[in-house]
Structures are given as structure tokens and as C-alpha cells.
Amino acid sequence: MKIAFTYLPGRIARLDDSIRDGCLHRLRSYEKHHPSEFFYGAFELRDQGHDIGIFEVIERPRRSVPKLLAEIIIRKKYLPVKTYVGIIDAVYFLLPELQKYDAVVATTPGIAFSLGIWQALGRFDRPIIAIQCGILNYSLNRIRVSLTGKLMNRMSTQLFGIGELDDIKKIYRVAPTQIEVNCFGVDTDFWQSDQAEADEGYILAVGNDALRDFGTLIQAAEGFDTQVIIITKRSLPDQLPENVKIIRSAWNSQELDDLALRDFYRKALAVAVPLKPSLQPSGQSVTLQAMACGKPVILTETQGLWETTALEHGRNVLLVPPGNPVAWIHTIHKLNEDPEWRQGIGAAGRDYVVHNGRIGQFATRMERLCLKMSTGGMTE
């Protein structure tokens, strides 16, 4: 089966020059200095024998009457969330190549809705698999909701967690046959512990999305002596506690590569994932990466928790209430005081990821949907 994966810019730069033309089969193996989950299962499906193409949606600076009309529509917030003139225009230039595939995976809402718009206009007819996340976080109006719902019912949607499922179906009137949960996974061959490497006793926090609540973690740091290292590009207060250190970096930048990030995980006492309340499954990747490295994870318990069956507080993860620095202080004190308990949480976390959070499992569920869509499984 021929499956195209579409991304925003930044991922193909991780690959060697021989496959930057989008032909993933040219790469015999994916070197283990990078984790494969950044490609949302493309490598795993390639290894299952599928013909995989990878494409980045790159905006072009140009002016045209259709673009000007679209800009007026966008100012009135009629288009689906995360969908704007530049990305609609950029997707248009990929249509001839994407038309050669049996199914197209859109890895962001903007790409998915842009493909859906061109499909509705009769310029594209391949099945669309949309990975949606965070589309409930924006202001809505009747036209935006109606258009979004119509487009979502023409494609098939996968969500990273259960938190958004019911509200998306209700607000956008998405048919149950057109939406499902496919919890994300990580590359457990890359993210793993190094038994020979002792931890250095710090708490590590990583992330750049707007739902990170580093403020609560920084406030909590006043109540313990353990060093806190935060890797982010988000704006933080100039005045920080003495035990808080900031490292500026992001996944698509060169300041800190994947091997260096893995070393930070391996040397940490524990990994903190502080979140603001939301239905969106924020912090999923960092949580799974840290768990795969055998580190205990302290995670804010929000409605966006991606699953609530196998993920268990006190067994394989440590959950704290939103915006509660006292809970963070208590948990970090306990991690310092009880090394055996700390190691047990870390080992159980690794076991959780191996059984529930591998990128191969995510890819298998994606494969099943692609096959269904390519044989007419989509309903109008």
C-alpha cells in the first residue's frame, strides 16, 4: 500500500540527504541517534512493507486573489482552527504528488483541514487520515463549527487520547465511524535506560507547548533543595529560585539533539510534566520518553490524560492535582527519601510503555485505518 505522511517543516532535516526527496524506502534503516516517533509511524509502516512517502508543507510567499479572499474569511474566524491562508496554499502545491498515494496521513489539524478543503472543492480525492489534537482550544462560531464538522465527516480522525473524544463528537457532530482514539507511542529501542549511568539527582522538565505549567513547578521549587532543570523555549520569569536552571531548546532546533536529551532523562532523579487544565493530551511524548528510560514521572492529572486504565497513580506514574505546588513538594520529597520506591515506579513506567506506549503499536492502528480507508471504509 502507498501511504503519504505530511508534516510541518522540521522533520525531514533529521534524515540524510539521500531521502529528502520524500522516498522513505531509500533509507535502509533509521539510525538510532534519533527516535522514530517524530515521524508518526512512517518508519514502522515502511518496515511492514508499505511504500511510504514523506512530505513537508512549506509555505510560499505569493499574493493572489484567492489568497486575499481567504484572508478575509480567516479574519472572521470562519475556517477550521489552525487553518490559515499559507497552509491551504502550501498544501495545494503538494496535491499532484499526494494524489499518487492510496491514503494520506495529515499530522496536524491545519494540514488535515487544508486537504479537506481541496477535497471538498474537487481538487483532491485521496482518503485523508487526520491526526487531530487541541481543536477545542479556540473560539468557535456557527460557521466555523459547521465547516469543521463537514470536513471531519469526510475524513477519518485519530486522537492521541480519550479526553477530547466526546466533546469533539458533540460539538462538531462527527459520526462515531469517523473518529477514534490512537494513543501515541515512542521508540523504546532509542528511549531506554543505561544501567551503568547513575542519576545526578535533579528533577527534569521538558516542553514548549502552551499547556505547560512551569509556573507551578517553579513555585514548588521554593519548597525543596533538589535541582530543577527545565528545557524549554517558553518565556519564564527572570527571577528564579537558586535551584532552578533553564536550558533553551526545542525538538526542531539544534541546541540539544536527541542523544543529549536522552542523557538528561537518564541522569534525572525523576521527570516532571506540569500541565494546565485541558482536554488536550499534553505532555504525552515527554511522559512516555521518560518512562521508557526507566524514570519515575510526576504528571499533572488533567481531563486530557490520554488513558485511565493501564496508567495508574502510585504504580507506574505519580499524578498531582493541577496548580498545586504543595503536592509537587510532597511528591519530590518522597522520591528523595525512598530510593527503592522511586526505582519501582520507574521500572513499572518502563513496563507500561513497552506494553501500551510503543510507536509500533501506534503505527499498527494507523495501518489498520489506512487499509480500511483505501478500500472504501470511509462514510460520508
pLDDT in tens, 185-201: 999 999 999 876 778 89
pLDDT of residue 85: 85
| Average pLDDT of the chain, as a whole number | 90
* Other CB atoms within 10 A of residue 162 CB: 18
Residues 298-313: pLDDT tens digits? Answer: 999 999 999 989 999 9
Q: What is the mean pLDDT of residues 356-363?
A: 97
On the question of pLDDT at 68 being above 70, the answer is no
Residue 115, phi then psi, degrees to nearest 5 = -60, -40
Residues 273-332: pLDDT tens digits? Answer: 999 999 999 999 999 999 999 999 999 999 999 998 999 999 999 999 999 999 999 999
- Residue 15 is placed in which grid cell? 534524515
Note whether 348 and 370 are same-domain residues.
no
Q: What is the mean pLDDT of residues 76-91?
A: 86
Note whether 29 and 119 are same-domain residues.
yes
- Is the overall model pTM greater than 0.85, yes or no? yes
On the question of pLDDT at 74 being above 80, the answer is no
Tell me whether residue 380 is in a domain: no
Residue 54, phi then psi, degrees to nearest 5 = -125, 135
- Residue 329 is placed in which grid cell? 513538594
Residue 341: which region, alpha, beta or left (left: phi > 0; alpha: psi -120 to 50)?
A: alpha
Tell me whether residue 174 is in a domain: yes
Note whether 258 and 130 are same-domain residues.
no
Q: What is the C-alpha separation between 84 and 352, in angstroms, rounded? A: 38
Tell me whether residue 296 is in a domain: yes
Name the β-bridge partners of 186: 358
Note whether 343 and 366 are same-domain residues.
no
| Lowest mean pLDDT segment, chosen from 13-17, 41-45, 110-114, 258-262 | 13-17
Note whether 319 and 365 are same-domain residues.
no
Banded pLDDT at 241 (limits 50, 70, 90): very high
pLDDT of residue 5: 97
Question: Looking at the 3D structure of the chain, how many domains does it have?
Answer: 2
Q: Which residues are within 8 A (CB) of 2 and not within 5 positions of it... i.e. 6 or more apart?
A: 50, 51, 52, 53, 100, 101, 102, 103
* Of 313, 281, 309, 308, nearest in space to 297 by CA: 313
Tell me whether residue 379 is in a domain: no
Note whether 217 and 147 are same-domain residues.
no
Note whether 176 and 265 are same-domain residues.
no
pLDDT of residue 64: 62
| CATH number of the domain to which 43 belongs | 3.40.50.2000
* Length of the chain (residues): 380
On the question of pLDDT at 251 being above 80, the answer is no
Note whether 102 and 159 are same-domain residues.
yes
Q: What is the C-alpha separation between 103 and 88, in angstroms, rounded? A: 19
pLDDT of residue 253: 61
Distance set, CA 279 to CA 60, 74, 111, 316 (Å): 33, 25, 21, 22
Note whether 181 and 303 are same-domain residues.
no
Note whether 207 and 61 are same-domain residues.
no
Note whether 120 and 253 are same-domain residues.
no
| Lowest mean pLDDT segment, chosen from 136-140, 215-219, 245-249 | 136-140
pLDDT of residue 380: 42
How crowded is the C-beta side of 111, counted as CA atoms within 13 Å?
27
Residue 36: which region, alpha, beta or left (left: phi > 0; alpha: psi -120 to 50)?
A: alpha
Distance set, CA 163 to CA 252, 279, 281, 353, 362 (Å): 27, 5, 7, 19, 17
On the question of pLDDT at 23 being above 90, the answer is no
pLDDT of residue 113: 97
Tell me whether residue 208 is in a domain: yes
CA torsion angle 124 130 135 136 (round to 10): 120
Q: What is the mean pLDDT of residues 89-108?
A: 96
Tell me whether residue 197 is in a domain: no
Q: What is the C-alpha separation between 169 and 301, in angstroms, rounded? A: 23
Amino acid at 346: G
Note whether 167 and 279 are same-domain residues.
no
On the question of pLDDT at 379 being above 50, the answer is no
> At what angle are helices 142-152 and 165-172 packed, to 10 degrees?
110
Residue 271, phi then psi, degrees to nearest 5 = -115, 130
Tell me whether residue 245 is in a domain: yes
Give the domain extent around 228: 202-356
Tell me whether residue 324 is in a domain: yes
Q: What percent of the chain has pLDDT over 70?
A: 89
pLDDT of residue 267: 96
pLDDT of residue 130: 98
